[in-house]
Amino acid sequence: QVQLQQWGAGLLGPSETLSLTCGVYGESLSGYSWTWIRQPPGKGLEWIGEISWRGNTNFNPSLKSRVTMSVDTSKQQFSLELSSLTAADTALYYCARRGNIMIVEDMPRDYYYMDVWGTGTTVTVSS
């Protein structure tokens, strides 16, 4: 059964860069895309972006200028960097697997969802 374990610095100063890594255990990282999502304290979920096992990325336009994602298939890990931090970036950051299934109805369609999640890393931005 696939599990995700994430780690990274939890307390950062304004203008610094957040760096988080998510390790994939129990199943190959290859063949899937991998997602980062964050949740500010007491608030809802925000999709940050996703990276395929081949390294293709999609980012949230609201964060795109500050986000970098990478994947290392040999280490079974993928990573997130978010630069120029402000207090607004304080949040619980989750990594997740982007599962997909093709359903053939009137035509073949690919459906995507987050089916495996890490436990989350709290990141606080404070001076």
Q: Based on CB atoms, which residue is closest to another protein, 47 or 53?
A: 47
**Of 12-20, 21-29, 81-89, 99-107: span binding another protein (CB under 8 A):** 99-107
Residue 16: HSE in the Cβ half-sphere, 13 Å Cα cutoff:
15
User: What gap in Å lies between CA 97 and CA 114, rounded to an integer?
Assistant: 5
Query: Does position 94 bind another protein by CB under 8 A?
Result: yes
- Minimum CB distance to another protein, residue 28 (Å): 20
Helices (runs of H) and strands (runs of E) counted in the chain: 0, 11
Phi, psi of 88 (to 5 degrees): -65, -15
- Binding-site ranges for another protein (CB under 8 A): 35, 44-47, 49-50, 58-62, 94, 96, 99, 101, 103, 109, 111-115, 117-120
